[in-house]
Homo-oligomer: A and B are copies of this chain.
């Protein structure tokens, strides 16, 4: 039987931190003179108390190691539990969501998905929008830590390839986690501040700059405007493109840059492929739109760059109605979202690294057909990739596609139109943000979806964000017995 108390302790601590964070929107609402601040204080007290009680109750069990089983339970439990607490301020005051919508919104925040269940964002108290941004920012930070420290040891979807030396035993996870995390947090905070300053320099108000920097660096995509990023067309679109792209690059490389070594970032095959593939997508759509004489070159280039980077990185801001760009552009954007950014970033979906492995694996399989006696190894970044990694990546991709199919069926079951079900499944399993179809409201929200569809999407966002396998392992009865 697994000892769940260390898991309980960590979740208790994280819940308390989340409660503490609620004081930020409380202060902001107070500063703006919005009477709404009390809601956040109440929620903060409630959340901190619950977190503290949970931590205290499981305190004596904490050793400084986590078993592999405990790590699996922990990651999933964090992303199931925290949205409940994150949802509290959204229920207690404006926008007065019910549990389904509030949980959906908080899950969409903490998984950096960015789909909203709120039909009107413009009139919300500033604290509520800030809280949505904070949820994404915290979720983004959490996922980088999980991707860098937990997934490689948990060997999820080929992530064991990124296991660093002397970091194999799970006993070392926690101290090492603290060490890496502090470097990560510095970089993440630093980039966020840089993003705020750039946004302000380009004309955003202070509040809007903070809000959008929080959701840019987390590739989350929440906005405080129903019009999303269309509120700030022009230069901010280019600035956002750069910061979104940075947010989707491997943060471990930024740690190295901070130590003065730029080469690993520049030489990283997934970074190169990521930039190259985004370039292709931009080029295809720009040429396509120019041929269709839709607009002049420069605005086209800007709009396309912004929307391609936004979809490729899984941020999901909108600055244009891309469904009006013609079918080719739409298809390229949908497929971009199914690729995603780099590992150990805030980006989601299948990710560039896995496609590079998959393409190599297919090539090796085809070569094996005519020279069956040669040993053909898959290579990545100049070093051979173990078969177990290749298998893991292929199983991940297969599982991703099958889950996507099952999710489409599930969402259609709830009564959604095919287009809506397909894009809503895409947006939730790959944590992107937008969806299209007749059930989507004017501001792009899923407010009118059936309750069941919202719960299905909440589950899919969580499962997709944690790379599928690490959640699905929990439903095997044998997991709990071993």
Q: Which residues of A contact B (CB under 8 A)?
A: 68-69, 72, 154-156, 327-328, 330-332, 335, 338, 358, 361-363, 365-372, 387, 390-392, 394-399, 401-402, 405, 408-409, 412-413, 415-418, 421, 469-470, 472-473, 476, 478-479, 482
Q: Mind listing 30 A-B residue pairs with CB under 8 Å?
A: A68-B370, A69-B370, A72-B369, A72-B370, A156-B369, A327-B412, A327-B421, A328-B413, A331-B408, A331-B409, A331-B421, A332-B409, A335-B408, A335-B409, A358-B398, A361-B398, A362-B395, A365-B391, A365-B395, A365-B469, A366-B476, A367-B478, A369-B470, A370-B473, A370-B479, A394-B395, A394-B397, A397-B398, A397-B401, A398-B398
Contact: B482 with A338, CB < 8 Å?
A: no
Residue on B with the closest CB to A323?
B418
Contact: B399 with A362, CB < 8 Å?
A: yes
In the assembled complex, the CB of A155 is this many whole angstroms from the nearest CB of chain B, namely 6
Inter-chain contacts of A399 with B (CB < 8 A) = 362
Residue on B with the closest CB to A363?
B476
Total copies of the chain? 2
In the assembled complex, the CB of A25 is this many whole angstroms from the nearest CB of chain B, namely 38
Contact: A412 with B367, CB < 8 Å?
A: no
**Taking chain A's interface residues, is the majority helix, strand, or loop, or is none over half, making it mixed?**
helix
Cα–Cα, bound, A391→B473 (Å): 21
Contact: B365 with A328, CB < 8 Å?
A: no
Inter-chain contacts of A398 with B (CB < 8 A) = 358, 361-362, 394, 397-398
Inter-chain contacts of A405 with B (CB < 8 A) = 335, 338
Inter-chain contacts of A469 with B (CB < 8 A) = 365-366, 369
In the assembled complex, the CB of A311 is this many whole angstroms from the nearest CB of chain B, namely 14
In the assembled complex, the CB of A470 is this many whole angstroms from the nearest CB of chain B, namely 7
Contact: A473 with B366, CB < 8 Å?
A: yes
Q: Which 3 pairs between the two chains have the least Cβ-Cβ distance? A: A394-B394, A365-B395, A331-B412
Inter-chain contacts of A391 with B (CB < 8 A) = 361, 365, 387, 390-391, 394
Contact: B330 with A418, CB < 8 Å?
A: yes
In the assembled complex, the CB of A76 is this many whole angstroms from the nearest CB of chain B, namely 12
Cα–Cα, bound, A72→B372 (Å): 14
Inter-chain contacts of A332 with B (CB < 8 A) = 409
Residue on B with the closest CB to A335?
B405
In the assembled complex, the CB of A475 is this many whole angstroms from the nearest CB of chain B, namely 9
Q: Known contacts A405-B335, A417-B327: does B369 contact A473 (CB below 8 Å)? A: yes
